[in-house]
Amino acid sequence: MKKRVLTLGTVACLVIGTLAGCGFTGSTDSSTTGGSSQSAASSEATFDKTADSSAGDQVLSVYANAEIKTLVQWAASDNQSSKVNNNAFEGLLRLDENHEAQPALAESYDVSDDKLTYTFHLRDGLQWSDGTPLTAKDFVFAWLKQMSAEATNGYSFIMTDYIVNGAEYNEGKASAEEVGVKALDDKTFQVTLKAPTPYFARLTVLCQFFPLNEEYVTSKGDQYGLSAENMIYCGPYVITSYDPAVGAALKKNDKYWDAANVKVGNAQVRVMKDASAALNAYLANELSQVALDSSNVAAYQNDPEFSSKSEFRTEYLQFSLSNPVMANKNIRRAVSMAIDRETLVKAILADGSAPSEGLVAEGMYGDESKSFRDLNGNICQFDPEQAKKYWEEGCKELGQTPALTLLVRDDSVTKAVATYIQSELNKNLGIDIVIDTKTVQARNELMDNDNYMFASTAWGADYDDAMTYLDLWTNGTPYRGSYQNEQYNKLINGARVETDDAKRLDMLLQAENLLVDEDVIVAPLYHRGSATLTKSNVKGLINHPFGPDVEFKYAYFK
Amino acid sequence: MIKYICKRLIYLALTLWVIVTATFFLMKKLPGSPFDAERFNMMSVQQQQAILEQYGLNQSVPRQYIKYMGNILHGDFGTSFTYTGQKVSAVIGGRIGPSALIGLQAVLIGLAVGLTLGIIAAWRHNSGIDYFTMIVAVLGVSVPNFVAAALLQYYVALKWGILPVGFWTEWKCSVLPSIALSFSATAMIARFIRTEMLEVLEQDYIVTAKAKGLSPMKVLMRHAVRNSIIPVVTILGPIVVNLLTGSLAVENIYTIPGIGSLFVDSIKANDYSTIMGITIFYSAFYIFVVLIVDIAYSLIDPRIRLAAGREG
């Protein structure tokens, strides 16, 4: 018996020893636990053994609330990958502290008089992290890759919609030489557009527009991007370790053209799916910044480390026009008017979200002096009395009081919002609606197959222009409620080619009015906000409202 | 014994085939596709075709099944739909280690603490220690492991700063999750061993052993514990499988890159190849552990014969 116990014990110890040896992603730094007297990030254990301690002991650490599924540029479409890629790569322009696009790898650019040709002049001496020169050809290769059939992130439209022969190249009807992207020489990159696009230069801050070194990417084949060793970088940081489930560790890129202005030596993006665990990690000084969920906002909103802001993301109700009930405009208007969005964001969400006054988010570019939202005003009125009248009118037209079913995805926030909508419609219209909760995939399938009445969904801006929201409703797909309106399409298509900025803006303002107010195709609910805590000794850690959401480049420790 | 093991391995292969086949066809019934519908709709027809071809989804389901079975016979579990370009075997391989480590530690804690508490409780029946053990057992079974995990994280890691709050950087990170996971195992083992021991302690051979003048410790270890441990081995199989294959809640709370969260995420994302890979791994592991438990019976009690027809 004793022998057996001894043998079993030895085997168990060996197994544990083996597992312990190979499972961890980091060093054996013992300073992980949080003493409150320690500075924000100096107590953090770096999970990358190769982190450069000479570049500074303090580590900037943020978290991702989902896994970083891929870093491959032409496959990535999620926030988590852009959190990492935006700091390890750079495009022709980069967003600054005020979310304005500023010259980055391109020192300057010229726009032709017809606003169709953009000529970008790259900086002197640009190089990749392995020392290889970075040239205009790297942009041509990356952009063609993003436009090709190989791209799996669903973002090719962000180039093919604008660049000459981009769509044709994607369909195999045009050669690479015929596409409007050219390297005039090593330092000059020229792009030819189909139509004037006032926000085109601002698009180049997105990860899809970052350059790639053809020789390197080709040499790595299908291994490119699967690990930190199989990538080279051109941004403020290089990635030193990457595990989709654990996160990414970054260190300052000495080959970066503006390395002198990058003050933080080491940074991390750590995967933490549980919001309360992330808050605990922040309180234990293991994170430099954390996002708060609604339940914690009240407790921290007077904390000097607290801040909140609204993002360029709108949550809205999508009505299906092919559904006989929702085809009735009075019914749609009644539903939209019966929801008090102010109470929704204050009492239910309480996380920095703003009540929607329209589909286009607060703060999105309008003209030089005002935002789009300021210009179009509040077109999502809450008026329970009017709502009731529209409802009764709609019921009369339908010849019955319809039963409504709201399709929602199964995350906790959406379920809470759906319950609130249910109570609002009960209170203000006197009806009981059914909430149909499905996984994201199942909800999408139902919407795709036009098998829904109205659904809760959302859209986050890809770039800082109202077009990112408004051009979604031009193709009449079931997902977008099967909306087909010639006038709407005329406005959007007109805005796509209009050279006069004021006229273009006016078309977009009209389009939003038509979609939300006149035709009530969507009922915007709220613009998603985020409430965060940031350690008081961390400065310049920027969270952009659109595109890449965290910027390490300007951060420093005080 | 060898004949018995060979027979069991054949059953194992057959069972696995049934599980794989059933899972494959049921999985295809999941609503939605592995691709985000909104992004997929934004792809051109060429891109949609390319991606369907890449994953073999442009073929009929029976053809996909035949191809899949052929591939797994060659050890190829396919490429993950979620983690672009990553092989399923590599994705699962990377996640087994952390789950297995905290699971194994939880089993050891459960065994050490549960056996000790159960034995002492039975030996000192109706004493303070007995009541204490039963309270521990009730708490262990009734408090969900995510509550234990959150409490341990708050007090031990955050308030007292003894161990890390989370992340997976060093061995210390595995201590709290292992303790949190071990609660229910500890309680179950303690209850089982106590009940069994109480019964055994009433047996004639215990009275005889005492009458022969054996020391109480010898009576306890040689006769009582050995004869009480069989039921524990029975429940140990499922406990080991549960603990070693990960707990979603505990993994999330402590940010452990384990297989539990991978399985749930892959189901949510309709990541067909990863769902299949993990199902095969879970099933094979479960069947294998059951086999080990059966073999362990005969090691603990030589009177138990594995194969029929060898007695007499």
Which residues, other chains included, contact B76 with Cβ-Cβ below 8 Å and sequence gap of 6+? Answer: B89
Distance CA B44, CA B38 (A): 12
Q: By three-state DSSP, how is residue B187 classified? A: helix
Strands A266-271 and A59-64: parallel
Q: By three-state DSSP, how is residue B310 classified? A: coil
**Terminal CA-to-CA distance of chain B, rounded, Å?**
16
Say if the Cβ atoms of B37 and A77 lie within 8 Å. Answer: no
Sign of the torsion formed by the C-alpha atoms of A155, A159, A161 and A166: negative
B288 touches chain A (CB under 8 A): no
Dig out the tokens for A447 from the structure. Answer: 């919407």
Dig out the tokens for B103 from the structure. Answer: 């699971």
Most A CBs within 10 Å: which of B38, B263, B266, as the mutation test of the A interface?
B38
Say if the Cβ atoms of A440 and B268 lie within 8 Å. Answer: yes
Q: How many CA atoms lie within 13 A of A262 on its CB side?
A: 25
Output phi, psi for A408, to 5 deg: -135, 160
User: What are the DSSP calls for A215-263, one per residue?
Assistant: HHHHHHGGGTTSSGGG----SSEEEEEEETTTEEEEEE-TTSTTGGG--
Closest C-alpha to B272, from B95, B100, B64:
B64
- How big is chain A, counted in residues? 558
Q: Which of A33, A170, A223 sits opposite B163 (nearest CB)?
A: A33
Closest C-alpha to A554, from A285, A278, A286, A267:
A267
Give the H or E element holding residue A182: strand A181-185
User: Over the Cα atoms of chain B, what is R_g?
Assistant: 24
Distance CA B35, CA B58 (A): 14
Strands A405-409 and A454-460: parallel
Distance CA A312, CA A314 (A): 7
Q: What is the pLDDT of residues B243-259, one digit of tens each?
A: 877 688 898 889 899 99
Specify which residues A557 forms β-bridges with.
Answer: A538
Asked if the model's pLDDT at residue B312 lies above 70, the reply is no
Query: Are B275 and B23 within 8 A, CB to CB?
Result: yes
Q: By three-state DSSP, how is residue A365 classified? A: strand
Burial class, B72, CB count within 10 angstroms (exposed 0-12 / middle 13-18 / buried 19+): middle
**Comparing A189-193, B33-37, B275-279, which segment has the lowest mean pLDDT?**
B33-37
pLDDT of residue A519: 97
Q: Which of B169, B221, B269 sits opposite A32 (nearest CB)?
A: B169
**pTM for this one?**
0.85
Specify which residues A365 forms β-bridges with.
Answer: A371
B269 touches chain A (CB under 8 A): yes
Q: By three-state DSSP, how is residue B108 classified? A: helix
pLDDT average, residue stretch B156-178: 89
For residue A173, the tally of other CB atoms under 10 A from its CB is: 11
User: What are the DSSP calls for A73-104, one per residue?
Assistant: TTT--SHHHHHHHHHH---SEEE-TTS-EEES
Query: Are B262 and B95 within 8 A, CB to CB?
Result: yes
pLDDT interval class at B303 (50, 70, 90): low
Cα–Cα distances (Å) from A457 to A295, A310, A317, A414, A549, in that order, read: 23, 17, 6, 9, 21
Q: By three-state DSSP, how is residue A483 classified? A: coil
pLDDT of residue A11: 52
Work out how many CB contacts closer than 8 A connect A with B: 214
User: How distant is the alpha carbon of residue A239 from its chain centre?
Assistant: 21
Interface of B with A in 116-175 (CB under 8 A): 150, 153-154, 157-158, 161-174
Cα–Cα distances (Å) from A2 to A7, B119, B222, B226, B300, in that order, read: 9, 17, 10, 11, 12
Say if the Cβ atoms of B108 and A12 lie within 8 Å. Answer: yes
Dig out the tokens for B99 from the structure. Answer: 């789950």
Contacts of B85 in chain A (CB under 8 A): 70, 72, 75, 222-223, 225-226
Distance CA A190, CA A169 (A): 17
pLDDT interval class at B304 (50, 70, 90): low
Contacts of A448 in chain B (CB under 8 A): 37, 41
Contacts of B45 in chain A (CB under 8 A): 171
What was the ipTM of the complex prediction? 0.82
Distance CA B83, CA A226 (A): 9
Say if the Cβ atoms of A155 and B42 lie within 8 Å. Answer: yes
Query: Are A21 and B159 within 8 A, CB to CB?
Result: no
Residue with tokens 């609204």: A310
Give the H or E element holding residue A412: helix A412-429
Q: By three-state DSSP, how is residue A171 classified? A: coil
Dig out the tokens for A292 from the structure. Answer: 């708060």
Amino acid at B145: N
Strand order in the sheet with A117-122: A106-111, A117-122, A188-192, A181-185
Which residues, other chains included, contact A389 with Cβ-Cβ below 8 Å and sequence gap of 6+? Answer: none
Most B CBs within 10 Å: which of A32, A287, A457, as the mutation test of the B interface?
A32
Distance CA B183, CA A104 (A): 55
Share of chain B above pLDDT 90, in %: 32
Closest C-alpha to A433, from A417, A444, A448:
A417
Low-confidence ranges of chain A (pLDDT < 50): 1, 5-6, 8, 20-22, 26-55
Where is mean pLDDT largest: A316-325, B11-20, B88-97, B201-210? A316-325
Q: By three-state DSSP, how is residue A534 classified? A: strand
B292 touches chain A (CB under 8 A): no
pLDDT average, residue stretch B125-142: 87
Residue with tokens 């197994």: A15
pLDDT average, residue stretch B97-119: 91
Distance CA A339, CA A361 (A): 18
pLDDT interval class at B203 (50, 70, 90): confident
Expressed in percent and rounded to 5, the helix, strand and coil fractions of chain A are: 35, 20, 45
Specify which residues A292 forms β-bridges with.
Answer: A531
Dig out the tokens for B277 from the structure. Answer: 């890979």
Most B CBs within 10 Å: which of A160, A241, A276, A280, as the mutation test of the B interface?
A280
Give the H or E element holding residue A59: strand A59-64
Query: Are A11 and A19 within 8 A, CB to CB?
Result: no
Contacts of A15 in chain B (CB under 8 A): 104
Which residues, other chains included, contact A410 with Cβ-Cβ below 8 Å and sequence gap of 6+? Answer: A437, A438, A439, A440
B100 touches chain A (CB under 8 A): yes
Distance CA A283, CA A290 (A): 9
pLDDT of residue A276: 86
Q: What is the pLDDT of residues A338-347, one digit of tens each?
A: 999 999 999 9
Say if the Cβ atoms of A154 and B39 lie within 8 Å. Answer: yes
For helices A486-497 and A501-512, angle between their N-to-C axes, nearest 10 degrees = 150
